[in-house]
Chain A
């Protein structure tokens, strides 16, 4: 889409305190990429970030006046984007660094709710930096850390040199228990390729190619079946006998059908679902095969906000299968499964 590519890409950088957000930010900025970034940080001037265009933000979360409690935006970002757009052409991309305690949703929603922001900028991806040594603990005691993992498109699992292989496997299993769909990169000192974190197009409908969970890589043969969690349960996919955690609170739910869906049933169902359960649903994504429709229909959403469009023709020989994924907190699994099933014409 020519129109989408003219919009300035915005990368949201999250991560719990001390995980290495600033290290990653400085890595991105110091790389010889010939691009100029506008960087929006939360603690102005406090930490050493070497960039011409740094803007201090206040992390003000505003509720929209539409009666929807999860429909929040970052008021300060609206203002900053307004000001930055006066300098269009002076930078190529925007990076928004949030505080360790921030919920990424209001940041992301700002780029969908605000008409003027949406006209000029597009959300590229939510990148979460996680500390391999401490993330497991934070997932237990810090709801923010869990939010950031659940919301991520890209997870940079940092400080892997400070943990043993089993510890690393453990933390990865915990991440995958919450979010099996994000791209995960193991790093030391945030050594990750810039193209792995920027220009991901994670919110670009044209780039929803497939939705497959990442299987835990069976590269270390540590068959220690210590589950460490009372709520372990088996999913129907195999993962080489590796540890698998099911997070009691935050989980992903995947739906699949190889029979075409009825759009006159599916669309209202999806709308109603995000209206009623939008507070629990952090992210959603889908590739849909509708009855009597030769086009793939794709959608993605953040809480109650949904974007969807016909993407392209189903290719010859391509399996016309519908896949829908929700990541969220205390998802009413059976209700969602039943609702989805009801969209398949008998």
Chain B
């Protein structure tokens, strides 16, 4: 025990000096890669586009707040409080996909791998394929979140009291998964076996889709605002606590009767998480500005950004997993080549 030093802080491997700092010009909500360029969706008006060299340009999109964004790697689709649904592609060209007739806020957006777009305004969910008119679907209360199933054209619409599964191209009746409370973000597991929502309460709820069995995932001190599936869908990493909570989904029972892994504890709330697309590593951003890279197997940590200033609000990897980008509430950002 002679190396034990009770006075010193545990040393941590740091790669902070390899991060290219970025000035993003305003609060950031999310970051998405189109090719090797990081696109930081601002809280309002602009998307800031950064190259791996740290060069930033601004692309104006909405006249007002940007309320939601989704990307399939080819384009970013955003909804705004100007009632517009816009797409920005890798060439930097913007296109208006829809304008709400009543100029309602576009609260949620989701993208299907085949190019179909879903969005919502109030209680109405919309789906627009590559051709044809948009189809609409009403749920009993305001849509909290949208997600396409990985297979087939099936849209999960989260709302108060549960999730409705809608099949826009089929006459079949929508399926309703009931659970009391207000459901916000929703996500399918990559193997299409589980559906998970982040609730308004500091808890998540899940269903095994084969038999609609419930999975209660609670115990968070704060609302879960960020969820990310690890490579291959083995685990679901979440924000909302002062450690990263990773729920096990590798077995057929998912997290039922199992404890989640609790990684990278800090004296600050995890605000955003993003799993690496290929390896069993992830990054977590914290309310105090810290960014940590974490190995999922053993929780080993690498410091990407020291605690400084505002909460980390955006984290993202490029598709190959060779570039990492982060952004904060006060418009600070960084990009890192792995």
Give the complex CA separation of A325 and B65 in angstroms: 42
Contact B180 A63 (CB under 8 A): yes
Known contacts A44-B104, A75-B160; is-contact A87 B199 (Cβ 8 Å) = no
A116 interface residue, CB < 8 Å from B?
Answer: yes
Q: Which bracket fits the contact residues of A? A: 20 to 34
Enumerate B36-90 residues with CB–CB distance to A below 8 Å: 43-44, 64-67, 81
Determine whether the beta carbon of A65 is less than 8 Å from that of B199.
yes
**Which residues of chain A have C-beta atoms less than 8 A from B208's C-beta?**
none
Interface residues of A in 49-64 (CB under 8 A from B): 55-56, 58, 60, 62-64
Q: Does B122 contact A (CB under 8 A)?
A: yes
Q: Is B279 an interface residue (CB 8 A)?
A: no
Whether a CB of chain B sits under 8 angstroms from the CB of A318 is: no
Asked if B34 is at the interface (CB within 8 A of a chain A CB), the reply is no
Contacts of A44 in B (CB 8 A): 102, 104
Q: Say whether, besides A83-B105, A116-B223, A62 and B160 are in contact (CB < 8 Å).
A: yes
Q: Which of B43, B181, B182, B199 has the most CB of A within 10 A?
A: B182
Complex CA–CA separation, A194 to B142 (angstroms): 33
Shortest CB–CB separation between residue A82 and chain B, in angstroms? 8
Chain A CB within 8 A of B318 CB: no
Complex contact B141–A83 (CB within 8 A): no
| Chain A residues near B104 (CB-CB < 8 A) | 44, 56
Pairwise interchain contact A83-B65, C-beta atoms closer than 8 A = yes
B200 at the interface (CB under 8 A from A): yes
Q: Which of A73, A87, A114 contacts B44 (CB 8 A)?
A: A87
B200 interface neighbour in A75, A83, A84, Cβ under 8 Å: A75
**How far, in Å, is A305 (CB) from chain B's closest CB?**
15
**Cα–Cα, bound, A77→B28 (Å):** 22
Contact assessment for B181 and A65 in the assembled complex, using a CB-CB cutoff below 8 Å: yes
Q: Which residues of B contact A45 (CB under 8 A)?
A: 102
Q: Are B201 and A65 in contact, CB atoms less than 8 angstroms apart?
A: yes
B107 at the interface (CB under 8 A from A): yes
Query: Is the C-beta of B256 less than 8 angstroms from some C-beta in chain A?
Result: no
Contact: B203 with A65, CB < 8 Å? yes
Inter-chain contact B181/A86, CB cutoff 8 Å: no
A170 CB, min distance to chain B CBs, angstroms:
41
Q: Which of B107, B181, B201, B223 contacts A83 (CB 8 A)?
A: B107
CA distance A55 to B201 in the complex (A): 24
Across the interface, do A79 and B160 meet the contact criterion of CB distance under 8 Å?
no
Chain B residues within 8 Å of A335, by CB = none
B64 touches A55 (CB 8 A): no
Q: A87 contacts B64, CB within 8 Å? A: yes
Proximity bits, A38-52, B CB within 8 Å = 1, else 0: 000000110000000
Q: How far is the CB of A77 from chain B (nearest CB, A)?
A: 10
Nearest first, the 8 closest Cβ-Cβ pairs linking A and B are A86-B65, A86-B43, A65-B181, A62-B182, A65-B201, A87-B65, A83-B67, A60-B141
Q: Which residues of A contact B (CB under 8 A)?
A: 44-45, 55-56, 58, 60, 62-66, 73, 75-76, 78-80, 83-84, 86-87, 114-116
A-B contact pairs, 9 of them (CB 8 A): A55-B81, A56-B104, A58-B122, A62-B160, A63-B181, A75-B200, A83-B105, A86-B66, A87-B65
Residues of chain B touching chain A, judged by Cβ–Cβ distance below 8 Å, are 27, 29, 43-44, 64-67, 81, 102, 104-105, 107, 122-123, 141-142, 144, 160, 180-182, 199-201, 203, 222-223
